[in-house]
Chain A
């Protein structure tokens, strides 16, 4: 495994990178995934990032780590760390920049380098209380405005039983409600100009078309949107905090509920990150099973998108057809995994079970019937004149804007950026498959939908290849850290018995280190960054989701449009709030 990591370091040219940055680099941390991880001086951070921006144009992720209780600390670490995860699209290379900080010292804000740093820095402040100098609006983003403390700090309680029992008296309710009132002045908005008085409209958190609990405060002139402020956090469940409490194995079901339409697609980056840390090689059969299930869920998620997209522009019927298809799909998923929306079926080292007898027939029936139905939907929805008039040219952004704002997945490819992790940095066996990456060119609502529609066809193609070439062999690795361990030999010798007992009761002990794993999930790049301190559970679980930056970008693309356009934009983004708030 170290071989693979070294290979990747060589590929990215880490030594050259370090030489380029000169003495700003304090320390080069070796990570299990081989991504160059460089500690730089806090004051020189903006300069370093500006220098790296040409080569790594996308800020994939920005997050904090509380290092205070960590035993296996990197040598340059202080109390807290801010991590900047950068992505180069052309050569598909990654790089992590880390900054050590001891509050109340502040880290320079990088909002002016990447606009999407705005929300990420707010999140890091919200979660860790880290100050970012130069950030104009460092306020709560995921937690309620009245929250006390910073929840991802190690000294913040993780469970309700460690806190005072919750009660909501009238006084507190009034205060909470008042805290939610939108104040335009706080966002630099005017209430009126000389000749116009603006209307401020709360769209959400309860609104039929915001796909969950998402609120956008709109500044309206008639029905025209002057400005918009997205407000998230209503679906925040502290998944990252839970990651620090659960064992490596028992966190898997929580990942299903991040992008709750993606099912096992969420398991994939998590288990692969753990496998990278542990150095587990997954057997071929398990790899292909994983890909097949992940692609089935990609179709399932895209079907929901397709139906709701048509519904949000006012077309009533398509959603019913697509949900019927999704139901057929869930039939297959249920036959294979036993679960439907959230099977939690991938395991560290493989999958939970082998495929059931007769799975081929189920899958074949589905992929044989689906293309004709997709043709039908194309005629019904995508070729409809009114739908086109509602979506073509609406909510468009350029390639540059998409990259600047950290937009990934179909929403990035709709602008014509030819980037798909499955093809450009094949993971988990995707290099064995033949498929195309559909592209759009306008980057508008219609293209975002069209790319997803075509992706469904490509997924069907991948699934057919899985069906025709399913390898024989074990469905789980026999590595000692694969969980739960294969049981065949447990009753035969004491070594395996003890091993099995410990791995099942405490869970596996994953070697100390750091690794991240990014996959092309249903909605874009889903990246898990895991920090192991050599224990039974994660020291820090960072979940980078594609929906979070997409929502941040809404004001940019909706200014000057009307409310119905905003609804079309929201529909075309394809997000779920659990994937935003985690």
Chain B
């Protein structure tokens, strides 16, 4: 597996480091997002604890850890407890195939891209099961929305990446990055970037696509009944998803670790950071479409665009080779 990479022990160590970094990053992101939103919204955000308020993360964790670990008596207990862990596990597994640098990765699967798609699909079960197991009407509606949203958006999420695969000629994420030495895929695959970004936000349930949660409509949707650490797991999953999607977009469209002067991993980190800021800005700016409008957008706009992209890329690739 990891022949040119870090060696077995190194891979294990790196895997653990990645988990720690991702979870830590997600935690800091909860604070960072609030500060950034605060700046954009003419207010401060959490700025009291520690330098720039960053210790707010610790305070929040302590609070969540010490909260009553409650399972509603009417819920399906086993599934209720399992649901929030699924999203965290699936998202963390997704990080395994991300190449952080030329030799910095846990797995270089020859089907790395498919593995990533598989993991994000698994994360959906978490929302579905959480909504179903809560045995609460709002949670049920949230779960329903989530199911419908995922069915619609999974379809073109995978398809939107096929153009990239055609250009790179490989499913391996390392090969895809290497193939971008001449030109980042964000230019020839602009439509692919657009559709994948939309699908990616939908996967991570962030504001324009947070319909399963939609606090203004469904109180808290699928996690209405969740509190304490189980709620924190959902939040962790969401933020991990945000980082993972950003990392994926960077890898697939913005040349991954490629860049002059700075070390590769720094380039990778900077690009991911910029994308995360972009996603936070999206959240600050855009209202939430209605659920049927979201479906319409998925099936009638995004899917045709993706297919168009696929056909055009295929035709051009064939023409090029001929």
A residues touching B (Cβ–Cβ < 8 Å)? 199, 201, 207-209, 222-223, 310-317, 320-321, 324, 380, 384, 386-387, 389-390, 562-565, 567
The reply to whether B291 and A321 form a contact with Cβ atoms under 8 Å apart is no
B42, B137, B144, B287: the one contacting A314 at CB < 8 Å is B287
Q: How far is the CB of B207 from chain A (nearest CB, A)?
A: 7
* Identity of the chain A residue whose Cβ is nearest the Cβ of B293 in the assembled complex: A389
A208 pairs with B216, CB closer than 8 A: yes
Given A389-B289, A563-B141, also A321-B42 (CB < 8 A): yes
B60 CB contacts on chain A under 8 angstroms: none
In chain B between 191 and 221, which residues have their CB closer than 8 angstroms to a CB of chain A? 207-208, 210, 214-219
Inter-chain contact A316/B216, CB cutoff 8 Å: no
The yes or no answer to B321 lying at the interface (CB within 8 A) is no
Q: Are A316 and B207 in contact (CB under 8 A)?
A: yes
Distance (Å) between the CB of A200 and the closest chain B CB? Answer: 8
The CA of A315 and the CA of B208, in the complex, are separated in Å by: 9
Interface residues of B in 209-246 (CB under 8 A from A): 210, 214-219
Query: By CB atoms of chain A within 10 A, which of B40, B43, B138, B216 has the most?
Result: B216
| Chain B positions within 8 Å of A223 at CB level | 141, 144-145, 291
State A86–B283 Cα separation when bound (angstroms): 48
* CB neighbours of B40 from chain A (8 A): 317
3 smallest CB-CB distances across A and B, nearest first, come from A314-B288, A315-B287, A320-B41
B208 and A199 within 8 A (CB): no
Docked Cα-Cα span, A186 to B210, in Å, equals 36
> Does B37 touch A at the CB level, under 8 Å?
yes
The reply to whether B287 and A208 form a contact with Cβ atoms under 8 Å apart is: no
Point out which of B37, B144, B288 has the most chain A C-beta atoms below 10 A from its C-beta.
B288
Answer whether A390 and B283 are a contact pair too, CB < 8 Å, given A208-B215, A311-B216, A316-B207: no
A317 and B41 contact, Cβ closer than 8 Å, known pairs A386-B208, A387-B287: yes
The reply to whether B291 and A314 form a contact with Cβ atoms under 8 Å apart is no
A562 B290 Cβ-Cβ under 8 A: yes
Tell me if A563 and B289 are in contact (CB < 8 A). no
On chain B, the residues within 8 Å of A209 by CB distance are 216-217
Task: Give Cα A110 to B27, complex, Å.
Answer: 61
Residues of B within 8 A of A389 (CB): 289-290, 293
Chain A CB within 8 A of B322 CB: no
Question: Which of chain A's residues has its CB closest to B215's CB?
Answer: A208
Residues on A with C-beta less than 8 A from B69 are none
CB pair A321 B287 closer than 8 Å: no
B252-289 vs A, CB cutoff 8 Å, 1 = contact: the mask equals: 00000000000000000000000000000001111111
| Interchain CA distance A14-B301 in the complex, whole Å | 64
Closest to A321 in B: B42
Asked whether A321 and B141 contact (CB < 8 A) given A314-B216, A390-B289, the answer is no
Interface size on B, residues (CB 8 A): 30
List 11 contacting pairs A-B, 8 Å CB cutoff, sorted by A.
Answer: A201-B138, A313-B287, A313-B288, A314-B208, A314-B287, A317-B40, A317-B284, A324-B43, A380-B285, A562-B290, A564-B291
Bound complex: CA A207 to CA B217 (Å): 8
* Given known A-B contacts A324-B42, A567-B216, A386 and B289 have beta carbons under 8 A apart: yes
Verify A565–B207 contact, CB threshold 8 A.
Answer: no
In angstroms, Cα B144 to Cα A316, docked, is 24
The listed residue (B42, B137, B219, B291) touching A207 by CB distance below 8 A is: B219
Name the distance in Å between B196's Cβ and chain A's nearest Cβ: 20
Residues from chain A with a CB closer than 8 A to the CB of B288 are 313-315, 386, 390, 564
- Between A311, A384, A387, A564, the greatest number of chain B beta carbons within 10 A of the residue's beta carbon is seen for A564
Whether the pair A314, B214 counts as a contact (CB closer than 8 A) is: yes
Q: Is the interface of B mostly helix, strand, loop or mixed?
A: helix
With a cutoff of 8 Å between Cβ atoms, the chain A residues found around residue B218 in the complex are 563
Provide the bound-state CA to CA distance between A320 and B287, in Å: 14
Residues of chain A within 8 A of B290, CB atoms compared:
389-390, 562, 564-565
Task: Find B43's partner among A201, A315, A320, A564 (CB 8 Å cutoff).
Answer: A320
Report Cα–Cα, A474/B139, bound state, in Å: 61
B289 and A567 contacting across the interface, CB-CB below 8 Å: no
Complex partner residue of A312 from B207, B216, B283, B286, CB under 8 angstroms:
B216
Establish whether residues B141 and A310, one from each chain, have CB atoms under 8 Å apart when the complex forms: no
Interchain CA distance A316-B141 in the complex, whole Å: 22
The docked-state distance in angstroms from the alpha carbon of A562 to that of B141 is 12
Interfacial chain A residues near B219, Cβ < 8 Å: 207-208
| Minimum C-beta distance from A247 to chain B (A) | 43
Distance to closest chain A CB from B108 (angstroms): 39
**What B residues does A313 contact at CB under 8 A?**
216, 287-288
Q: For the complex, what is the distance from the CA of A2 to the CA of B303, rounded to whole Å?
A: 74
In the complex, per-residue mask of B135-175: 1 if CB is within 8 Å of any chain A CB, else 0: 00110010011000000000000000000000000000000
Q: Which residues of B contact A314 (CB under 8 A)?
A: 207-208, 210, 214, 216, 286-289
Which B residues lie within 8 Å of A315 (CB)? 285-288
Q: A317-B40, A320-B41, A567-B216 are in contact. Are A562 and B292 (CB under 8 A)?
A: yes
Further 5 A-B residue pairs, CB within 8 A, beyond A223-B141, A386-B289, A389-B293: A209-B217, A321-B42, A384-B286, A563-B218, A564-B290
| Chain B hits for A387, CB < 8 A | 287
Give CA–CA (A316, B41) in the complex, Å: 9
Known interface pairs A320-B42, A320-B43, A324-B42; A310-B214 also in contact (CB < 8 Å): no
Query: How many Å from the CB of B272 to the closest CB on chain A?
Result: 23
Given A389-B289, A565-B290, are A321 and B41 neighbors across the interface (CB < 8 Å)? yes
* Distance, CA A318 to CA B289, complexed state (A): 16
Q: For the complex, what is the distance from the CA of A314 to the CA of B208, rounded to whole Å?
A: 8
- With A and B bound together, what is the CA distance between A567 and B290 in angstroms? 11
Q: Which residues of A contact B217 (CB under 8 A)?
A: 209, 563-564, 567
A310 & B287 in contact (Cβ 8 Å cutoff): yes
Complex: chain B residue closest to A386, CB-CB: B287
Establish whether residues B287 and A384, one from each chain, have CB atoms under 8 Å apart when the complex forms.
Answer: yes
Q: Which of B274-322 contact A (CB under 8 A)?
A: 283-293
Q: Which of B81-100 contact A (CB under 8 A)?
A: none
What is the bound-complex CA distance between A222 and B295, given in angstroms? Answer: 15
Q: What is the minimal beta-carbon distance from A18 to any residue of chain B, in angstroms?
A: 53
CB distance from A229 to the nearest CB of B (A): 16
By a CB distance below 8 angstroms, the chain A residues around B286 are 314-315, 384, 386
Min C-beta distance of A391 to chain B, whole Å: 10
Proximity bits, B27-64, A CB within 8 Å = 1, else 0: 00000000001001111000000000000000000000
Task: Specify which chain A residues have a CB less than 8 angstroms from the CB of B210 in the assembled complex.
Answer: 314
Rounded to whole Å, the gap between the CB of A553 and the closest CB of chain B is 20
Determine the chain B residues whose CB is within 8 A of the CB of A311 once the complex forms.
216
> B201 → chain A, closest Cβ, in Å?
13
Residues in B whose Cβ lies below 8 Å from that of A565:
290
Q: Which residue of B lies closest to A571 (CB)?
A: B216
A255 to B145, CA, bound (A): 44
* In the bound complex, CA of A312 to CA of B215 (Å): 9
**Cβ distance B294 to chain A, nearest Cβ, rounded Å:** 10
With a cutoff of 8 Å between Cβ atoms, the chain B residues found around residue A312 in the complex are 216
A139: shortest Cβ distance to chain B, in Å?
A: 25
Return A477 CB to nearest CB of chain B, in Å: 43
